[in-house]
Amino acid sequence: MVTADQLLVKQINKSIVLNTIRKKEVISRAGIAEFTGLNKSTVSFLVDELIKEGLVKEIGLGESKGGRKPIMLMINDKGGCVIGVDLGVNYILSVLTDLVGNVLWEKKIDIRLGEDKEKVIGLLMRLIEEAMENAPRTVNGIMGIGVGVPGIVDYRKGLVLMAPNLKWKDVPLKEMVEERFKIKVYIDNEANVGAVGEKWFGIGVECSNFIYVSAGIGIGTGIIINGALYRGASGLAGEIGHVTINIYDELCNCGNIGCWENYASERALLDYMRAQLKQGKQDDYINSESIGDLNALRIIDFAHKGSNIAIEGLKEIGRNLGIGIVNLINIFNPEMVIIGNTLSLAEDIILPEILDEVSKKCFIYKYHDVKIRTSKLNFHAGAMGAVSLVISKLFAHPEF
Ligand SMILES: [Zn+2]
């Protein structure tokens, strides 16, 4: 008779073995036993199970430390695939990866701001379908779908409670996607997802305490404390884009006033640029006729080509990002702040402004050097984060 406790111990040990192989990339059974302190027969038994399940593979003989040459092990990249979807406010990006996060296929489509909910969900389903059509043959097929959503999410139920920039309320997205594809689905707020992505695949890998700032149409943050995502009492932590930085300001669409994201997001950049153009400012790249066509990517592109108005706009947004980041550092004392999403593409312009604000205004920065970096996953942070929602579950519970 196997007791529930014994099953749990086995489950935990199996997850330890699987994660050791992932972290070491190539390791022998004896190496795992030595590294984890588990006894050799337990390791052998669990490795055999993981091989049968297609999650681990043998790759030939390694160097001997005296005696027989050991058989080396790796995560089986052909063990299965994962789909990650970054549902943005004005785009959807879908990626298909193997079990170690190598991107095998990807596609990004633009969506119109304020597009009808049913239409957006239809496009999202179609992109998942396309990812499945492009999946190679693997042992376990598609092992899960992760979706990052720009709003507050009940991640346990997979319910989008409110996505102000999409104008969604109470959308049971997990249920809808699971119903359609009969595959396990994980949904979370896009900034949480981005933070998890940085922890698994980005510059946060070696870092236990960091804040990921998703600076896109709005601003969201994902908070990693002691190596794990901090969700708060009911999973809604991190809505720091809606922290007040101006008590004399107008209403935000969240119901508060003077929210950070109204000063430091893509939308704030557009508002700033429009105001400049209305005042008659123009240069060789941007003039009053371009108002309708402007978007953040285009402004960043113009700035890199030398448009002074675009550079000034991005500097202004950089300073405003810095003001919110000062607050974050004062609250959390993180090792690192990672800036992701669209505005991170203007790293060369915004980062010096942020650093300047932080060094001038942040109280604890004088005593503790915080690294401020931009995401190297850039536009993939959200989608890779959605992938890591699935992969983190898989590596925590190899049986799933
Ligand atoms: Zn707000």
Are 138 and 226 found together in one domain? no
pLDDT band at 10 (very low <50, low <70, confident <90, very high): confident
Q: Is the pLDDT of residue 208 over 90?
A: yes
The answer to whether residues 246 and 156 belong to one domain is no
Question: How far apart are the CA of 150 and the centre of ligand 1, in A?
Answer: 13
**Model confidence at 1: pLDDT above 70:** no
The alpha carbon of 250 and the centre of ligand 1 are apart by a number of angstroms equal to 10
State the Rg of the chain over Cα: 23
**Using one digit for the tens of pLDDT, what is the confidence trace for 57-82?**
999 888 877 788 889 999 998 899 99
pLDDT score recorded for residue 400:
58
Q: What is the mean pLDDT of the chain?
A: 91
Region 371-393 average pLDDT: 90
293-336 pLDDT per residue, tens: 888 999 999 999 999 999 999 999 999 999 999 999 999 999 99
Instruction: For residue 155, report the distance from its CA to the centre of ligand 1, in Å.
Output: 21
- Residue 342 alpha carbon to ligand 1 centre in Å: 19
CA of 260 to the centre of ligand 1 (A): 7
Question: β-strands 27-28, 56-61: how paired?
Answer: unpaired
- Among 78-82, 124-128, 289-293, 375-379, which stretch is predicted with the lowest mean pLDDT? 289-293
CATH number of the domain residue 70 falls in: 1.10.10.10
261 Cα to the center of ligand 1, angstroms: 7
- Neighbour tally for 280: CB within 10 Å: 8
From the CA of 243, how far away is ligand 1's center (Å)?
A: 7
One domain for residues 258 and 346: yes
* 241 pLDDT more than 70: yes
Indicate whether 180 and 323 sit together in one domain. no
What's the pLDDT tens digit per position in 131-177? 999 999 999 999 999 999 988 899 889 999 988 888 899 999 999 99
Q: Which of 43, 75, 107 is the last residue of a domain?
A: 75
Same domain, 240 and 366: yes
Whether residue 234 sits in one domain with residue 370: yes
How crowded is residue 10: how many other Cβ atoms within 10 Å of its Cβ? Answer: 16
Beta bridge partners of 44: none
Which whole number is the average pLDDT over 288-293?
A: 76
Same domain, 120 and 191: yes
Q: Give me the domain span that covers residue 153.
A: 81-199+381-396
Q: Is residue 10 domain-shared with residue 137, that is, in the same domain?
A: no
pTM tops 0.95? no
* Cα 159 to ligand 1 centroid, rounded to whole Å: 20
Q: Are residues 9 and 128 in the same domain?
A: no
If you average pLDDT over residues 25-36, what whole number do you get? Answer: 92
23 CA distance to ligand 1 middle (Å): 40
> Are 233 and 308 in a shared domain?
yes
Distance from the alpha carbon of residue 239 to the mean position of ligand 1, in angstroms: 9
Tell me the CA–centroid distance for residue 104 and ligand 1, in Å.
37
Which domain CATH number covers 341? 3.30.420.40
How many structural domains is the chain composed of? 3
151-188 as b/e: b if 16+ CB within 10 A: bbbbbeebbbbebbbbebeebebbeebeeebebbbbbb
Tell me, what's the pLDDT at 374? Answer: 94
